[in-house]
């Protein structure tokens, strides 16, 4: 099993690596690139904690091999607010007390961000369905939904 | 829960992929969307010697409709099919089923062909393919072969694809006028695999059922066509009592599994309810489309 | 209600200081830690529930490139000091004490029992190495349920015990049980089961252990509810001096009771680090978390209830059996808490309580959010069953039986005074928030259309921390201490043994201290997670709002007094004439006199004041809970049950709660909603399942189902006016309440929905298939 050289764009920067083919994108981001914001909650594609955006789509990075991301544009939670300021969604979630322990947060935020980009006028039920593949054990979800609704409202208000 | 050691190939054409499959046969797993295969590897339940990653074969993606058929390349992402106006227009049953597959992130990577090649009997697309008598196109060393859905699904996670063949395309017959559809599903949570699901397509002509097709997900080790119920419905006017009898016949023919989520007895009861609900919804839709 | 100096922050939903890092991926959890030379551990685990280990051959694993070491159970025994479970020892357990080795040596006692550990350059390689370890086992008959465990014929899971009894049968009586039952108009006799389910934090257990060979010091980066308890556990097992062990914790991805002390795996990893002189990381994966980290709540109850024909609950006689799994955890201690809490907020003349705990070949029973919660489930179920039988409505029977609030307070038959309990008010508030008569009309209309709606109510109290007991501090775990210091840059630093893992302490404690001391919120820093700098503490038991909130308030007051004393020398004014507001000390009425508190600290540090003045701007404060108090409330759920599929939808969920004075309403509401969500999970989705051979069947998230955003409705919460008991500290804990009372609320509602079928429910787990079984069992033709 030989390593494969890959080049990809992560959070706007060109990154390279030589992962084994069996290494997941999640582990590559965390271990090889030091981007530990993406979390491992189950490693079998159910909990959504590992969600990142690849070529414009939210994906579970534990269900992609790193080698499959060669040539792709990947955005992780660290890339959502590159200039040091929180993005609209992050700010709205802060204002809404969306989170508690924070472990589900990066995946939840990335999934919500991807969804809002495509569905800026989604209603509560649509947001719940869109986030139903991201498990949170602390909040009961209401505060997260409120944060997403607030972000959507603020984006519309601009 | 880390993947075991495995070799990796990334062919760029179908013929390269077929060559690799011919070389490795059962020791190879085809990596399409990865949403079913990678968890199996992570759990170390699957131990292929080599992964043949077909994500780089551009010719395998695409949706087109012609001559009363919808052709979908095997690597077409589920979300692409879900968003496709062509799919919605030509095969509404497929359009009804696609949003029920897992969650958005799964559909970002999962493929139509991958789901059919994996052949999980609880999945939505196998039931749709079986209900509509879809055709599956495979490429092997000796060329192409078209397999009707009735012959494709052989057993639990088992298809009639030979080890040296690659599924390249699936074709669905386009829905005719007066056809209404329904995809019913009972799952533990939104986005979970169905405990029981039912793909239903009903065509009405002059208020009479001229065609009825129903296939269950989760009721067997393969998608299960409710042939006896379909025969009962053909030529009849849609009525509640008829649907009740169709439900009774449909469940008489199935032997569902028992597992943590439901017993066989439970699945039969739900299957009956889904037949009634599925037929009602499909008939209502058919009336709208007339 | 709380005599805090200012109320600029306390009581407001101040934004959390934890969030900027959480929202940007800058949190630091155990698996994010990377140290130079760090290795990774993976465990070889038993495939069977009960067996003898005949041989362990690690030679092939040791040869694998990238594998640095492999340790068997025997190796680790030679490297560690045998002893009892540290947490059990700390809690003073006196009962049966099983003897076992750190990793399995001669026998395995549950599927997944660790037998060897592989240390390698990566987790991938460590797992590869595990596959090369060859273990020979001989099957033993598995003990998979409590009733077999209690049968003397069952093979002892622990040789030194000779039987499978974790806690011998005992019985206590409070009041005159015999006379109460003899005098009852009706006696009900029911059996109620609560099923096995578990914590499932999004982050599993794990640590990085780093032993420095030169200094002989061990540093453990842990995910834990108490860095000090982990330190004690590690030092004990490794035979090290306490001051050679340091435990650090950063962000922790939830716990709900799971991560206390140190697991056998973490201790093995620490021993490995010492042997190798390199850091070793172990983070459990989800499979390990679901199968071996620990499970809870598998308890069964035989309950007799003595009742008057008018619906007075005169007394209860309870027999409890708890399945504590294989290795010892706190399960054997749960019955005594259940017993103490069983009367709840009700007046009751007598309670008989008998209990025993059984050892089985399943995961260890661990604390899970309200470990005693079954008392509320059983009691609130029994009350509803009685109400149905007598034709009373659920409010009527509860209001009839709630102990009146008197002064001095009514005392539970088990001894705790019900000071400040607002059960009556919470039930009445629910009746205002939910229009029951209108619901009953809608329910009847729905039934006519073949739809089954139901409504359920339940009420609870929890000792958060509990009322003051004569002669002692409130609640378990005793006194709380905190070190507070004014730094030279003007920061008020709070050093606390609390170890937040979602509780938002870094925000809430800062709110209190900022208000009491007089600095802006941003000028308070809450320091947690380092045994070198924080006092002993533990986050759990719904006690931190009172205990830590209280010690923060009193400590800030004491620190302020010290600072004003120094300032009085600086400013040539008497301390009584000085104030601190917005981080400035000034003479009252003379704003121009203001100087920043940091200046006071710098002057104090410079030693200007001479020996007579205590210039150390640090206090060690302690707090015994003051008057303490109860938290509690009433919940109401409206559900719809699809009688063809068994799917239950929670349409509406309403909470009327009393957790005393609120520090941060958003934090309180988040805790309640999270607890209710876990209650919904317990009833509708979650079960830790085993087959008859003791194999865990719920080993992935496809089989152990936790609630998602589509399963938990909006939860309406009303906060009640609380009854203040203490002059200063009336914050009470709220962490566990939601999870305690949500299950009976939901089951009561489901039973109400299914009442046309005559269904009666004596269990907590109601997945769709079970709902259909319950309907079918009532007979055809319904």
Interchain proximity A43–C285, CB inside 8 Å: yes
- Place C1 in a pLDDT band, splitting at 50, 70 and 90: very low
DSSP 8-state assignment for residue C91: T
CB contact under 8 A, A99 and C712: no
The DSSP secondary-structure symbol of C334 reads H
- Secondary structure string (H, E, C) spanning C511-529: HHHHHHHCCCHHHEEEECC
Q: Which residues contact C494 (CB under 8 A, 6 or more apart)?
A: C482, C483, C484, C509, C510, C513, C524, C525, C526, C527, C552, C555
Contact state of B105 with A129 under an 8 Å Cβ cutoff: no
Provide the β-strand partners of residue B180.
B202
Q: Do C710 and B260 touch (CB under 8 A)?
A: no
Out of A4, A68, A130, name the one closest to residue B55 (CB): A68
Please report which confidence band the pLDDT of residue A158 belongs to, taking 50, 70 and 90 as the band edges.
confident
Which of A62, A67, A115 is opposite residue B104, by nearest beta carbon? Answer: A115
Q: Provide the residue ranges of all domains of chain A, joining segments of one domain with +.
A: 6-79, 88-157
Q: CA torsion sign, A132 to A133 to A134 to A138?
A: positive
B284 touches C: beta carbon within 8 Å: no
Give just the sign of the alpha carbon dihedral C499, C505, C510, C515: negative
Contact C210, C219 (CB under 8 A): yes
Verify whether the Cβ–Cβ distance A137 to C202 is below 8 Å. Answer: yes
* E strand or H helix at B178: none
Task: Give the C-alpha separation, B121 to B118, whole Å.
Answer: 9
Report the alpha-carbon distance of residue C740 to residue C736 in Å, rounded.
Answer: 6
Using a CB-CB cut-off of 8 Å, the residues of chain A touching C703 are: none
**How would residue C780 be classed by pLDDT, with cut points 50, 70 and 90?**
low
Write the residue in A34, A42, A105 that is nearest to C286 by C-beta: A42
Res C89 pLDDT > 90: no
Please judge whether B188 and C705 are an interchain contact, meaning their C-beta atoms are less than 8 angstroms apart: yes
CATH 1.10.150.120, applies to A88-157: yes
Distance CA A154, CA A135 (A): 25
The residue-averaged pLDDT of C519-547 equals 94
Report, as an integer, the average pLDDT of C31-47.
98
Residue C473 has pLDDT above 60, yes or no: no
* Between A72 and C727, the higher pLDDT residue: A72
Q: Which residues of chain C make contact with B193, given a CB cutoff of 8 A? A: 702
Taking each helix axis as running N to C, give the angle between helix C374-390 and helix C334-341, from 0 to 180 degrees, rounded to the nearest 10.
Answer: 40
Which band of pLDDT confidence, cut at 50, 70 and 90, is reported for residue C269? very high
Nearest in space to C297 (alpha carbons), one of C323, C326, C261, C327: C323
pLDDT band at C339 (very low <50, low <70, confident <90, very high): very high
Q: What is the pLDDT of residues C492-517, one digit of tens each?
A: 999 999 999 999 999 999 999 999 99
Pair A19, A66: CB distance under 8 Å: yes
CB contact under 8 A, B6 and A1: yes
CB contacts of C710 in chain A (<8 Å) are: 128-129, 132
Answer CATH for B7-53 from 3.20.20.70, 2.40.50.140, 3.30.43.10, 2.40.30.10: 3.30.43.10
- pLDDT given at position C572: 86
Chain segment B83-109, per-residue pLDDT in tens:
999 999 999 999 999 999 999 999 999
User: If you count residue pairs, one on A and one on B, with CB atoms under 8 Å apart, how many are there?
Assistant: 92
Number of A to C CB contacts under 8 A, please give it: 173
Mean pLDDT of B1-19: 98
| pLDDT (0 to 100) of residue B277 | 98
Chain C nearest C-alpha distance from A100 (Å): 4
Q: What is the pLDDT of residues C169-219, one digit of tens each?
A: 999 999 999 999 999 999 999 999 999 999 999 999 999 999 999 999 999
The answer, for A27 touching chain B at a CB cutoff of 8 Å, is yes
Strand residue runs (E) in chain B: 7-9, 28-31, 50-53, 63-66, 69-73, 135-140, 143-148, 153-155, 158-159, 166-173, 179-187, 194-205, 208-217, 224-225
When pLDDT is averaged across residues C539-555 and rounded to a whole number, the result is: 93
Measured CA distances, C609 to B62, C121, C151, C548, C594 (Å): 83, 57, 74, 32, 20
Question: How far is residue C483 from each of residues B184, C228, C552, measured CA to CA in Å?
Answer: 61, 15, 9
Mean per-residue pLDDT over chain A, rounded: 97
pLDDT at B204 over 80: yes
> Which chains have at least 3 CB atom pairs separated by less than 8 Å from chain A?
B, C
β-pair type (B179-187, C186-194): unpaired
Domain range A6-79, CATH architecture: Roll (3.10)
Pairing of strands B166-173, B69-73: antiparallel
C666 contact residues in A (CB cutoff 8 A): 97, 143
Q: Is the pLDDT assigned to residue C578 strictly greater than 80?
A: yes
Q: Is the pLDDT of residue C661 over 90?
A: yes
Residue at token pair 């990381």: C281
Residues of B in contact with C767 (CB under 8 A): 188, 261-262
- CATH topology agreement for domains C19-26+479-623 and C299-470+626-777: yes
Question: Under an 8 A CB cutoff, do B3 and A129 touch?
Answer: no
Instruction: State ipTM.
Output: 0.98
Which has the closest alpha carbon to C480: C406, C569, C540, C436? C540
Task: Report pLDDT digits (tens) over B148-170.
Answer: 999 999 999 999 999 999 999 99
Res C472 pLDDT > 80? no
- Give residue-wise pLDDT tens across range C377-392: 999 999 999 999 999 9
| Section C522-541 average pLDDT | 95
What pLDDT does residue A1 have? 65
Q: Do C34 and A34 touch (CB under 8 A)?
A: yes
Average pLDDT over chain B reads 97
Query: Is A37:A105 a contact under the CB 8 Å cutoff?
Result: no
pLDDT, tens digit, for every residue of C606-659?
A: 887 777 777 889 999 999 998 889 999 999 999 999 999 999 999 999 999 999
Average of pLDDT values for C69-95?
Answer: 90
Right CATH for C299-470+626-777 from 3.10.450.350, 3.40.50.300, 3.30.365.10, 2.60.40.740: 3.30.365.10
Strands (E), C588-724: 590-596, 618-623, 628-641, 648-658, 715-719
CA torsion through residues C758, C763, C766, C772, sign: negative
Q: pLDDT of B181-193, one tens digit each?
A: 999 999 999 999 9
Would the pLDDT of C230 be above 70? yes
Among the residues of C253-361, which ranges form H helices? 264-276, 286-291, 334-341
Please tell me the CATH code under which domain C33-140+205-252+259-291 is placed: 3.90.1170.50
**Using CB atoms and an 8 Å cut-off, which of residues 280-299 of chain C contact chain B?**
285-287
Q: Which of C646, C698, C710 is facing B190, going by the closest CB pair?
A: C710
Query: Residues C679-691: pLDDT tens digits?
Result: 999 999 999 999 9
Option in C502, C701, C707 nearest A100 (CB) = C502
The per-residue pLDDT for C670 is: 98
Short-list C204, B44, B103, B41, CA closest to A63 = B41
Taking an 8 Å cut-off on Cβ atoms, the answer to whether C287 and B273 are in contact is: no
- Kindly report the average pLDDT of chain C as a whole number: 95
pLDDT band at C782 (very low <50, low <70, confident <90, very high): very low
List, in sequence order, every residue forming a beta bridge with A10; answer none if it has no partner.
Answer: A13, A74
Question: For the sheet containing B208-217, what is the strand order?
Answer: B179-187, B194-205, B208-217, B224-225
Residues 6+ apart with CB under 8 A from C543: C464, C465, C475, C476, C477, C480, C625, C733
How confident is the model over C126-161, as pLDDT tens digits? 999 999 999 999 999 999 999 999 999 999 999 999
Cβ within 8 Å, pair B1-C124: no
pLDDT at C477 over 70: no
Fold assignment, C19-26+479-623: Aldehyde Oxidoreductase; domain 4 (3.30.365)
Mean pLDDT of the C29-50 span: 98
Boundaries of every domain in chain B: 7-53, 58-173, 179-289
Domains of chain C by residue range:
19-26+479-623, 33-140+205-252+259-291, 299-470+626-777
Among candidates C475, C777, C415, which has minimal Cα distance to C626? C475
Answer yes or no: CATH 3.30.465.10 is held by domain B58-173. Answer: yes
Mean pLDDT score, C773-777? 96
CB contact (8 A) between residue B7 and residue A1: yes
| Cross-chain residue pair B261–C767, CB shorter than 8 Å | yes
Residue with the two structure tokens 């490297």: C79
Q: How much is the average pLDDT of C469-477?
A: 58
The matching CATH number, chosen from 3.40.630.30, 3.30.390.50, 3.60.9.10, 3.90.550.10, for B179-289 is: 3.30.390.50
Inform me whether the C-beta atom of residue B51 falls under 8 Å from chain A C-beta atoms.
yes
CB C683 within 8 A of CB C675: no
User: Are the C-beta atoms of residues B27 and B164 closer than 8 Å to each other?
Assistant: no
Report CB contact under 8 Å: C16, A94: yes
> Within its chain, how far is the Cα of C42 from the centroid?
27
Chain C residue numbers touching A103 (CB-CB < 8 A)? 27, 29, 201-203, 253-254
Whether C31 and A81 lie within 8 Å, measured CB to CB: no
The tens digit of pLDDT for each residue in B27-54 reads 999 999 999 999 999 999 999 999 999 9
**Is B190 an interface residue toward C (CB < 8 Å)?**
yes
Phi and psi of B35, rounded to 5°?
A: -75, -20
C-contacting residues in B 55-84 (Cβ below 8 Å) = none
Model confidence at C775, pLDDT cuts 50, 70, 90, reads very high
- Phi/psi zone of residue C297: left (φ > 0), alpha (ψ -120 to 50 degrees), beta? left
> Which residues in chain C are closer than 8 Å to B269, comparing Cβ atoms?
644, 772
CB-facing half-sphere around the CA of B191: CA atoms within 13 A:
27
- Residue B270: pLDDT over 70: yes
- 3 state DSSP class of C381: helix
**pLDDT tens-digit map of B211-248:** 999 999 999 999 999 999 999 999 999 999 999 999 99
Mean pLDDT of C39-57: 98
Of all residues in chain B, the one with the smallest CA distance to A64 is B34
DSSP tag of C213 = T
B34 and A114 in contact by Cβ < 8 A? no
**The pLDDT of residue C611:** 76
Helix (H) / strand (E) element for C358: namely strand C350-358
């Amino acid at each position: 099993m030989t390593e494969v050289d890959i080049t990809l764009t992560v959070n706007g920067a060109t990154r390279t690596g030589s992962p084994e083919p069996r290494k997941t994108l999640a582990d590559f981001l965390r271990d090889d690139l030091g981007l530990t914001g993406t979390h491992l909650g189950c490693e079998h594609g159910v909990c959504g904690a590992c969600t990142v955006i690849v070529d414009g789509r939210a994906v579970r990075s534990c269900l992609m091999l790193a080698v499959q991301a060669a040539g792709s544009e990947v955005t992780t939670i660290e890339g959502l607010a590159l200039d040091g300021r929180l993005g609209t969604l992050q700010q709205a979630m802060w204002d809404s007390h969306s989170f508690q322990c924070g472990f589900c947060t990066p995946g939840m935020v990335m999934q919500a961000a991807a969804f809002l980009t495509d569905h800026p006028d989604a209603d509560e039920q649509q947001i719940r369905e869109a986030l139903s593949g991201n498990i949170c054990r602390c909040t009961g979800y209401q505060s997260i939904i409120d944060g997403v609704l607030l972000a959507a409202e603020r984006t519309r208000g601009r | 829960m880390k993947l075991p050691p495995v070799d990796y190939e990334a062919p760029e054409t179908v013929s390269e992929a077929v060559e690799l499959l011919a070389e490795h046969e059962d020791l190879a797993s085809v990596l399409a969307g990865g949403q079913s295969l990678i968890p199996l590897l992570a759990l170390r339940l699957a131990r292929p010697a080599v992964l043949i990653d077909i994500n780089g074969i551009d010719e395998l993606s695409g949706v087109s409709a012609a001559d009363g058929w919808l052709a979908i390349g095997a690597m077409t992402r589920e979300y692409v099919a879900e968003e496709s106006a062509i799919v919605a227009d030509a095969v509404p049953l497929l359009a009804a089923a696609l949003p029920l597959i897992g969650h958005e992130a799964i559909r970002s990577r999962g493929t139509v062909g991958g789901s059919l090649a994996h052949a999980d009997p609880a999945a939505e697309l196998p039931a749709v393919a079986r209900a509509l008598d879809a055709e599956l196109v495979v490429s092997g060393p000796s060329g192409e072969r078209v397999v009707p859905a009735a012959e494709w699904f052989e057993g639990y996670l088992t298809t009639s694809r030979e080890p040296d063949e690659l599924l390249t395309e699936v074709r669905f017959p386009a829905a005719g006028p007066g056809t209404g559809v329904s995809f019913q599903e009972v799952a533990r949570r939104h986005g979970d695999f169905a405990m029981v699901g039912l793909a239903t397509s009903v065509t009405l002509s002059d208020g009479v059922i001229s065609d009825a097709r129903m296939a269950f997900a989760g009721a067997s080790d393969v998608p299960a066509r409710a042939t006896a119920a379909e025969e009962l419905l053909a030529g009849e006017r849609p009525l509640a009592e008829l649907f009740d009898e169709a439900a009774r016949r449909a469940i008489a023919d199935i032997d569902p599994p028992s597992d943590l989520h439901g017993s066989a007895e439970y699945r039969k009861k739900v299957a009956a309810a889904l037949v009634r609900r599925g037929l009602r919804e499909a008939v209502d839709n058919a009336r709208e489309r007339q | 209600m709380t005599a805090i100096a200012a109320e600029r922050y306390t009581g407001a939903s101040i934004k959390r200081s934890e969030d900027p890092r959480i929202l940007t991926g800058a949190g630091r959890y155990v698996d994010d830690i990377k140290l130079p030379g760090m290795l990774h551990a993976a465990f070889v685990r038993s495939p069977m529930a009960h067996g003898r280990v005949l041989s362990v051959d690690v030679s092939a694993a040791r040869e694998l490139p990238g594998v640095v070491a492999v340790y068997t159970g025997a190796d680790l025994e030679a490297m560690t000091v045998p002893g009892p479970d540290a947490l059990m020892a700390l809690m003073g357990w006196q009962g049966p004490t099983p003897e076992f080795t750190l990793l399995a040596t001669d026998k395995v006692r549950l599927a997944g029992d660790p037998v060897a550990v592989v240390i390698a350059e990566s987790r991938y390689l460590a797992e590869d190495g595990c596959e090369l370890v060859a273990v020979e086992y001989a099957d033993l008959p598995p003990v998979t349920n409590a009733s077999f465990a209690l049968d003397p014929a069952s093979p002892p899971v622990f040789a030194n015990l000779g039987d499978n009894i974790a806690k011998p049968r005992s019985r206590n009586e409070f009041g005159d049980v015999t006379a109460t039952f003899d005098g009852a108009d009706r006696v009900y006799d029911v059996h109620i089961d609560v099923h096995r389910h578990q914590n499932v934090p999004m982050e599993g257990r794990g640590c990085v252990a780093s032993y420095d060979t030169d200094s002989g010091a061990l540093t453990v980066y842990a995910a834990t509810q108490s860095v000090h308890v982990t330190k004690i556990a590690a030092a004990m097992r490794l035979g090290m001096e306490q001051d050679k062990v340091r435990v650090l914790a950063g962000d922790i991805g939830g716990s709900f009771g799971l991560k206390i002390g140190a697991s056998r795996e973490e201790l093995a990893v620490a021993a490995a680090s010492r042997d190798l002189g390199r850091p070793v990381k172990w983070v459990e994966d989800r499979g390990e978390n679901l199968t071996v980290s620990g499970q809870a709540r598998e308890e069964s109850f035989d309950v007799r209830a003595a009742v008057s024909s008018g619906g007075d609950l005169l007394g209860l006689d309870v027999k409890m059996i708890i399945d504590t799994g294989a290795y010892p955890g706190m399960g054997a201690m749960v019955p005594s808490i259940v017993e103490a809490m069983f009367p709840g907020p009700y007046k009751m003349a007598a309670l008989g309580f008998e209990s025993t705990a059984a050892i089985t070949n399943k995961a260890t029973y661990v604390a899970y959010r309200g470990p005693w919660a079954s008392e509320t489930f059983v009691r609130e179920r029994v009350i509803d069953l009685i109400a149905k039988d007598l034709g009373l409505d659920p409010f009527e029977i509860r209001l009839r039986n709630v102990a009146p609030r008197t002064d001095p307070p009514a005392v539970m038959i088990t001894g705790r005074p019900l000071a400040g309990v607002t059960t009556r008010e919470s039930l009445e508030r629910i009746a205002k928030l939910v229009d029951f008569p209108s619901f009953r009309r809608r329910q009847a209309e729905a039934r006519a259309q073949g739809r089954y709606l139901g409504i359920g109510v339940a009420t609870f109290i929890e000792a958060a921390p509990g009322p003051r007991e004569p002669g002692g501090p409130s609640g378990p775990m005793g006194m709380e201490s905190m070190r507070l210091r004014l730094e030279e840059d003007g920061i008020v630093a709070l050093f606390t043994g609390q170890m937040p893992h979602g509780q938002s302490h870094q925000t809430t404690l800062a709110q209190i201290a900022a208000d009491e001391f007089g600095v802006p919120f941003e000028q308070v820093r809450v320091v947690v997670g380092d045994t070198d700098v924080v006092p002993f503490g533990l986050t759990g038991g719904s006690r931190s709002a009172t205990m830590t909130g209280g010690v923060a308030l009193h400590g800030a007051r004491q620190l302020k007094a010290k600072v004003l004393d120094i300032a009085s020398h600086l400013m040539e004014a008497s301390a009584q004439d000085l104030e601190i507001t917005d981080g400035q000390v000034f003479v009252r009425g003379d704003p121009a006199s203001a100087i920043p508190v940091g200046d006071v600290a710098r002057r104090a540090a410079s030693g200007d004041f001479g020996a007579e003045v205590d210039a150390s701007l640090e206090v060690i404060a302690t707090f015994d809970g003051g008057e303490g108090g109860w938290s509690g409330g009433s919940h109401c759920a409206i559900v719809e049950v699809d009688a063809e599929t068994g799917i239950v939808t929670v349409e509406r969920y309403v909470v009327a709660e009393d957790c005393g004075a609120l520090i941060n309403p958003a934090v309180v509401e988040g805790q309640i909603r999270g607890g209710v969500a876990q209650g919904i999970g317990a009833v509708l989705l979650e079960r830790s399942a085993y087959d008859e051979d003791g194999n865990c069947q719920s080993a992935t998230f496809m089989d152990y189902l936790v609630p998602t955003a589509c399963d938990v409705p909006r939860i309406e919460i009303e906060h009640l006016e609380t009854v203040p008991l203490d002059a200063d500290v009336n914050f009470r804990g709220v962490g566990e309440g939601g999870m305690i009372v949500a299950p009976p609320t939901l089951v009561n509602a489901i039973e109400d929905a299914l009442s046309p079928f005559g269904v009666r429910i004596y269990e907590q787990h109601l997945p769709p298939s079970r709902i259909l079984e319950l309907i079918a069992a009532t007979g055809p033709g319904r």
